[in-house]
Each structure stands twice: as C-alpha cells, then as structure tokens.
Copies of this chain bind each other. A is one copy, B any other.
Amino acid sequence: MTSLVADIGGTNTRVALAEGPGLMPDTVRRYRNADHADLTDVLTDYLREAGSPEIAGACAALAGPVRHGRGRLTNLDWTIEEAAIARVSGTPRVKLLNDLAAQGHALDQLAPEALVPVLDGPAQPGATRLVIGIGTGFNAAAVHALPGGLMVGEAEAGQVSLPVADAEALSLAQFLAGADGFAAVEEALSGRGLGRLYDWASAGAGRPGATDARAVMAALDTDPEALRAAETFVRLLGTVAGDLALQHLPYGGIYLIGGMARAVTPHAGPMGFAGTFRRKGRFSALMAEFRVSTVIDDFAALTGCASFLARTE
C-alpha cells in the first residue's frame, strides 16, 4: 500500500511516499510554501512529478492546532483541510496531525543513529514517552502505548509560566512578560526566545542588541552575551523539561525535537542541563529515571505520518 505523507512547516513543505510504516527516503521532495497557493497545489505538483502513483492513504503533519479535520499554521496563511487533501490524492483515507503528534507516532520507527543522548537513564519498553518540541515555538506531547496503538496527548505546553528560581531569572521573566505581566515558557525557549535572551543579556551589560538564534549560536566563542543567552536557554530548558517529566512521568524516555533542540544539544552537558533537570528538591533522585535524547532525524514527522496510517489501516 502506497501512501502520501507531508510535513508542512512555516517556510517549507516536504512531501514523500511511504510503503506501510516505512518512509521511502528517495521520494522526499521539498517545496517553498511562498511559491505555492496552498497545500493542494504542492501535492498536485508532487503527484504529477512522481508519475501519478495510486495513493491508498494520505497524512499531513503541520505546525499548528488541528481540530475536526482542519488545521491552521501559526506563521502561514494556509488553511489545511482533510477534505481538500482527499480530493487531490484520490483517497478518502486522510488524516491531519499536529507535527508534535506526528513525531510521537514516529518514535517506534526511529533508527538508533537518529538519537543523540543528552541524559542517560533506563527507558522502559511500553512506558509513557514524552516528546518536547523546541523550534519556532515550544510544545510537548505525552505518548502512551495502548493496546490499540499509540495515543498522543495534546497541549499548549509553551504557554505555561516560565519558571523563576532566583532574582536573575525574575529579571528575565519581567523582561519577557507581556502587558499582563505574564511570561510564558515559549518567550524564552524557542528560536525567537533565544534572540530575546540575547537582548536581555546585552541590555544587562549596557549594550543594545537584537539578533536571531542562528547568530547567537554562531557567536558563543566571541560574544559573552551570546554565551550567557545560550547558557540561560540550556538551564531553563533543564528546569522546564524536568517539570514536564514530573507532569507526565515518561519512564519510556524524553525526546527533544526541533531546530533549537538540535542546536543546543552539543552544549547541554557543558552548560548544565543535567543540573537544573534534576534539581527537584526531595524528588531529585526520581529524575535519574528519565532518559533524555535528541531526535536528529529530519524526516521523523514524515515517518510518523506513515506509521500513523499503517497502524490505522
């Protein structure tokens, strides 16, 4: 059974074919969203270029909320509907997934080399797992293995209170807070967030600054404020990931995904991720139960779409 899978980001959309739960890597194509009117336009182009294969199911992952067969992207003016995908792909078996849910459905298919260890720990087969996405935004999804397949929870985990442990962190939260005085996790732990951490670190040093995440990560060796911003990011990520672990008890492991997760992973050890992850008072010992890894498979959302379709055949 050949299925059509797609991963729709804010800038690019990737499309591929899959056989059962297996993504066919040679079939992956990338499209710039700006060159297309909408997703059906992208899929029509893809299917024509692929020689109009017969499609028995289609699944698309998108970076935004999905409800009642409709999805909306945060940073792109496309409305994505299962009915429209059914029309262009010629199959009534169509599913839209939130991209974090798609990553959750991919966990059982990931090759060992797709995982970079961050913190060691036991990972019990069949236990709850947790996917934490850190990229344009921040979110988390608990993945439960049930008799009928995986169940992936929904959340807006990037919108909860940014943790504050000391006066410096409070000054950061107040710097990041909106008009109502509330600072959300995502204001710090996202690509944009790292830029704002740099602004905060620079202002503290009397130097005005405004830069993007890529520039901050490139300047760690030369710019003390960039280093301070990245260290603050990593240490906050430890605290937030630890809080999420206590909220979901993912004895099956924690999986960091997204561009910012990949960017900071090499620095997680030296910058103190473990220290803040495990600083939980009398529950500190429990934190050693949670293995943390970063997923570096760029096609994982596509794999998750294929896996979801294969499980629900």
Contact = CB atoms under 8 A, between A and B. Distances in A.
A195 B241 CA distance: 30
Contact of A155 (B160, B167, B247): B247
B155 A249 contact: yes
A246 B157 contact: yes
Contact of A281 (B151, B154, B157, B178): B178
B279 A157 contact: no
A23 interface: no
Contact of A161 (B167, B243, B249, B282): B243
A50 interface: no
A211 to B, nearest CB: 23
Nearest to A167: B170
A247 B173 CA distance: 20
A148 B151 contact: no
A266 interface: no
A32 interface: no
A180 B281 contact: yes
B165 A181 contact: yes
A87 interface: no
A165 B159 contact: no
B161 A165 contact: yes
Contact of A160 (B164, B180, B243): B243
A156 interface: yes
Interface string A192-229: 00000000000000000000000000000000000000
B157 A164 contact: no
A126 interface: no
Interface stretch (A13-21, A38-46, A78-86, A139-147): A139-147
B155 A146 contact: no
A160 B247 contact: yes
A246 B249 CA distance: 17
A279 B151 contact: no
9 contacts: A128-B153, A155-B247, A157-B247, A163-B164, A164-B170, A177-B281, A178-B281, A182-B284, A244-B247
Given A161-B164, A161-B165, 12 more contacts: A128-B153, A148-B148, A153-B153, A155-B246, A155-B248, A157-B246, A159-B280, A159-B281, A161-B239, A164-B169, A182-B284, A184-B280
